[in-house]
Amino acid sequence: MKFQTPTGMRDLLEGDLRYFQKIEKVCRDMADFYGFQRIETPILETTQLFEKGTGLTTDIVQRQMFSFRTRGGDQLTLKPEGTPGIVRAYIQQGMQSLPKPVKLWHLGPFFRYERPQAGRYRQFHSFGFESLGVTAPVVDAQIIQIFYNILKTLGFRNLIIELNSIGDHQCRPYFKKALVSYLRSRRASLCIDCKRRLRENPLRILDCKQEKCQRVARASPPVLDHLCKECHNHFKNVLEFLEELELPYSLNPYLVRGLDYYTKTVFEIFEDTKEGREQGTLVGGGRYDGLVKMLGGKETPACGGACGIERMVNLMKPKSAGVGKVAGAEIFLAQIGQLPKRKALKLLEELRKAKIKVATAFEKDSLSSQLRLADRLKVSYSLILGQKEVLDGKIIIREMATGRQKTVDVKRAIREMKKKVT
């Protein structure tokens, strides 16, 4: 039997992992600067957390969750997105009593059962930034700024921020009434899923990716025309902050995002290039002022977003081919014979402590084969340890480009190499 990864899953090898590590480092540096603390929630959560938090009528809950019942009868789900788990931890760990805002960031794997395609896998990775406890629109702007800064630091160009406000519990019912009235008159033009959404959750129709539904959505009443005074002023202030920051944004009156918990500001960031449009949205997020209370906590305003790592890596590879390569060794340590092998093992550890990158081939006995390998690795110097050198307490330093070599006291070898390669 030939075993392979399950559909939509993949192995991450060194080439890709180098990009993942670079992204994580930039996230960590940005989080440290802006005062965000890292949190990692379990891969498994109770299914009801997502049914209630993400929304029963969302595509994630209806179609994409990996859920199962344990032997003990618990209904669990591999987490398909991060925010409900963050909010659950916020409540469970007593963070509601901490000074506000509580600023958290996370990075890890998520799982969705969907058709695999470029940049989309059933196990994927993302990072997110969440700020809980403050209603001020400056929080929305700063969350957007953090994601924009991360993408710019990683070399993304021509970034566009799309924004909308979808109101709150006060004004959204009036918008939904106008939207449903319009959509019913166009029901025959909707896909099967959107005909169902018209009954269950009409806002999801604005998020449908089918062209015929998008044509209908683009002519629907814009939500911005139905905002209450509070939501209007909040959104206006968010835009003013973005203008002050000189961030490139455009209004998209039909942007709603695919999750039920969003209120007021919603946003997406994408790269406005041919490759970027093919990959789709890099960052998505918004304000979710009602989610903490919905999941059993006190009423708490919040704002956050998340960014898909696989899509980022796909766009980063052509721009920075060197990121995925392992930094080469600086010297090669060659040895001939059993006693030199033992001494070379100890010397290798001393070189590691001195932070000198070393290549070795302890499995090879021939000096010529080891030096050929050193040539292929393009190291500048080789250290050669033979039986005579061990007995004399010496080591040979060979300059690979010229073939010149000299014999030095083995105790001086590390000091000599530090001068040459650092």
Q: What is the pLDDT along the chain (422 residues), one digit of tens a residue?
A: 899 999 999 999 988 999 999 999 999 999 999 999 999 999 999 999 999 999 888 889 988 999 999 999 999 999 999 999 999 999 999 999 999 999 999 999 999 998 877 667 999 999 999 999 999 999 999 999 999 999 999 999 999 999 999 999 999 889 989 999 999 998 999 999 899 889 888 888 988 888 999 899 889 999 999 999 999 999 999 999 999 999 999 999 889 887 889 999 999 999 998 888 888 899 999 999 999 999 999 999 999 999 999 999 999 988 764 564 556 788 999 999 999 999 999 999 999 999 899 999 999 999 999 999 999 999 999 999 999 999 999 999 999 999 999 999 998 999 989 888 87
Separation of first and last alpha carbons in the chain:
51
- Residue 200: count of CB within 10 angstroms of its CB: 12
CA dist list (Å): 22 to 27, 277, 317? 9, 23, 12
- Name the 3-class secondary structure at 125: strand
CA dist list (Å): 331 to 107, 142, 325, 341, 416? 36, 46, 18, 17, 12
Per CATH, the homologous superfamily of domain 331-421 is: Anticodon-binding domain (3.40.50.800)
Return the percent helix, strand and coil in the chain, to nearest 5: 45, 20, 35
Nearest to 311 by CA among 268, 280, 273, 347: 280
H-helix or E-strand containing 86? helix 83-92
| Domain parsing of the chain, residue ranges | 14-171+227-322, 331-421
- Name the 3-class secondary structure at 364: coil
Nearest-angstrom CA–CA distance, 387 and 372: 20
For the domain spanning 14-171+227-322, the CATH number is 3.30.930.10
Give the chain's length: 422
Q: What is the DSSP string of 177-221?
A: HHHHHHHHTTGGGS-HHHHHHHHH-GGGGGG--SHHHHHHHHTSP
Same fold, 14-171+227-322 and 331-421: no
Radius of gyration of the chain (CA): 28
Taking a C-beta distance cutoff of 8 angstroms, is the pair 265, 255 a contact?
A: no
pTM, rounded to two decimals = 0.86
